[in-house]
Amino acid sequence: MIATALRRLIPEDAPALAALLDEEPLQNVYLRSELRLAGLGSGQWWGVDGDGRIRAAMLGGPLVVPWVPRGDDVDRLAEALSRQQAPRMLVGPRAQVLALHRARHPAPPLRELRDPQPLLAQRRGGVTAVVPAAEVRNGTAADLDRLTVAAADMHREEMGVDPLAIDPSGWRSRMSTLIQRGWSWVWTEGDEVVFKAELSAWTPEAVQIQGVYTAPSRRNRGVATAAMAAVCRAVLREVPVCTLYVNHYNVAARKVYDRLGFEPVANLATLMY
């Protein structure tokens, strides 16, 4: 058996970590984006060394995202979870996150399990003949208040928790950052947010779309299809692939993505503690 070692990654490990994550650029789009944005200076990255290289890695913290290509490295990364603050969410490739959860001793009780979550991709040139909504545009600072509220409405609907009652300044700050990066898209009419979407990751090869939300009063009218067509068309001018993941039971959303030419790539899962 080849000896392995678990350790915190340091800035000098960035090239080796990038090489590991680049093996699966779509499944690792979030990790690759975080590495590009913030590097390894936060102290939240863990790695498993073996065979003279980094064989597995994990971004820790309240949100844990692993990449564990070899199953025999899961136990080592599970050790890292006992050395850091208890995570609130574990998100990533389905088999990996489920194995990582089971490897924790004892495995903590789950508040919710979303499994599977199909990872879908749309490639440049793959957009269907859907007419995009001309009203969709990048969010601006003038949209911050209403986008913050719309994002909180979505979170409350999806998660059953009101983030504005828990951390309003942090929630507003996160939305402000997305707007400043150019990662926010919105369709407004008057003071109403008809549709919104953001990016959670950006790399030269692919982006990941998140936070897709249509106002309840505008659903089942083709708004989401036309608006997502506009978002994808804008993004695909800059990168070759758009990705997103969706709950398997969200039939309405999956129909929208099918119309737009998204195709399945892999299955993810989200574990909430």
CATH number of 231's domain: 3.40.630.30
**Structure-token pair, residue 83:** 């050395």
Please, are residues 58 and 48 in contact by the beta-carbon 8 Å criterion?
A: no
Dist CA 149 CA 168 (whole Å): 10
Q: In terms of domains, do 174 and 256 share one?
A: yes
* 247 shares a domain with 152: yes
118 belongs to a structural domain: no
Partners of 6 in the β-ladder = 48
Q: Round to whole Å and give the CA distance between 113 and 162.
A: 19
Q: Which residues pair with 93 in a beta bridge?
A: 268
Helix axes of 168-181 and 144-159: crossing angle, nearest 10 degrees: 120
Place of tokens 């070759």: 240
| CA 178, 179, 181, 182 torsion-angle sign | positive
Do 189 and 145 fall within a single domain?
yes
CATH number of the domain bearing residue 82: 3.40.630
User: Same domain, yes or no, for 170 and 228?
Assistant: yes
Tens of pLDDT, residue by residue, the chain (273 residues): 456 899 999 999 999 999 999 999 999 999 999 999 999 987 799 999 998 999 999 999 999 999 999 999 999 999 999 888 899 999 999 999 999 999 998 889 999 999 999 999 999 987 677 899 999 999 999 999 999 999 999 999 998 889 999 999 999 999 999 999 999 999 999 999 999 999 999 999 999 999 999 999 999 999 999 999 999 999 999 999 999 999 999 999 999 999 999 999 999 999 999
Q: Containing domain of residue 72, as a range?
A: 5-108
pTM beyond 0.85, yes or no: yes
| 92 within a domain of the structure (yes/no) | yes
Phi, psi of 142 (to 5 degrees): -65, -20
Residues 47 and 131 in one domain: no
Strand partners, 64: 90
